[in-house]
Homo-oligomer: A and B are copies of this chain.
Amino acid sequence: MDANTKPVILTGDRPTGPLHLGHFVGSLQNRVRFQDDYRQFILVADAQALTDNMGRYGKVHDNVLEVMLDYLAVGIDPAKSTIFIQSQVPELTELTFFYLNLVTVSRLERNPTIKEEIRLRGFERDIPAGFLTYPVSQAADITAFKATHVPVGEDQIPMIEQTNEVVRRFNASVEQEILVECKAVVPEVGRLPGIDGSAKMSKSLGNALNLSATADEVSRAVKMMYTDPDHLRVSDPGKVEGNVVFTYLDAFEPDTAMVADLKAQYQRGGLGDMKVKRVLEDRLQAMLEPIRTRRAAFASDPAEVMLILKRGTEAARAVAAQTLDEVKRAMGLVYFD
């Protein structure tokens, strides 16, 4: 397929910490799959990260390289995917600026994703304006590349609806079909729980297993992993529902028949946690070892990695500039040519 007829994906991450197994299951492995059939743009959302990290500039800056290393390590191929740094594409802030006029404050305040995130961060009435309006910035990111598909978690679907509202309002206001509506792509595999059994793996909850973890860290994480607290003796029957070890085996072990056997044995009684954990650890080590090796290879030449990011950013900028030009032309904001 020609690059210009492929459907377009826009996706990315905030560079606020190392990526972990949750990212791998929820998005990274899909990006590796998607990059042949889609024209895929991946943004390292440093500007968006600042919406709740003002002042923590070093953290955001340094994690740009770390996130990029994670991308390359898992097999995202810069020859196939365009990886770029958000803050280096100023066209995105121009689009954001114009789109802010197409969205009301009350509409943003009703956005369920934003409401939940405001609650999680304890912002209440002290919401930074940049945080309330970040769905508009996301609409700019998505529409700048005329993305047709946006991979998101279930909880992010309102963001896509918000984007499509902006698209329809803008196109109506200029009476031209310039911006493109997009579809949410919700991954089949649900969210990966934390190693402590809580619903979400998250750096801030301290229950994450990073993609860059050493073999020892992997080993330790598996040992700490939440299983069935009532499964006290090997001979006891155990529960597999909510048992993180089995959830991870479902997520990462391709030999599903073997996993089904283990589950049956565990439920009957006679299979100890240590034994199942050893199976999982072997699987995770086998999976993470090549990622770790590739990561180390790329990390040995950070200048080369930044050069890849620079090229991706230039390519992304050219596309965003083209969309912005169409937008500004339609709005009559071109004077000098």
Contacts and interface: CB of A to CB of B under 8 A. Distances in A.
B332 A57 contact: yes
Contacts of A61: 332-333, 335
Nearest to A64: B335
Interface stretch (A3-11, A130-138, A143-151, A238-246): A130-138
Given A93-B93, A336-B306, A101 B174 contact: no
Contacts of A130: 97-98, 100-102
A100 B335 CA distance: 28
A289 B164 CA distance: 52
B87 A104 contact: no
A313 to B, nearest CB: 8
Interface stretch (A48-56, A218-226, A263-271, A291-299): A48-56
B51 A101 contact: yes
B85 A335 contact: yes
B331 A309 contact: no
Interface stretch (A75-83, A121-129, A273-281): A121-129
Contact of A331 (B57, B126, B335): B57
A90 interface: yes
Contact of A50 (B87, B98, B309): B98
Contacts of A103: 128-129
Interface in A26-77: 46-47, 50-52, 54-55, 57-58, 60-61, 64
A108 interface: yes
A233 interface: no
Contacts of A64: 335
B101 A128 contact: yes
Interface residues of A, number: 54
Contacts of A47: 97-98, 333
A105 interface: yes
A117 to B, nearest CB: 14
Interface in A141-192: 173-174
A93 B104 contact: no
Contact of A60 (B60, B100, B332): B332
Contacts of A98: 47, 50, 130
Given A105-B105, A106-B127, A108-B129, 17 more contacts: A46-B333, A51-B100, A55-B173, A85-B335, A87-B328, A87-B333, A90-B90, A104-B125, A104-B129, A105-B125, A105-B127, A105-B129, A105-B132, A129-B133, A306-B335, A306-B336, A309-B336
18 contacts: A47-B97, A47-B333, A50-B101, A51-B101, A54-B102, A54-B173, A58-B332, A61-B332, A87-B328, A90-B90, A90-B94, A98-B130, A100-B133, A101-B131, A105-B132, A129-B136, A309-B336, A313-B336
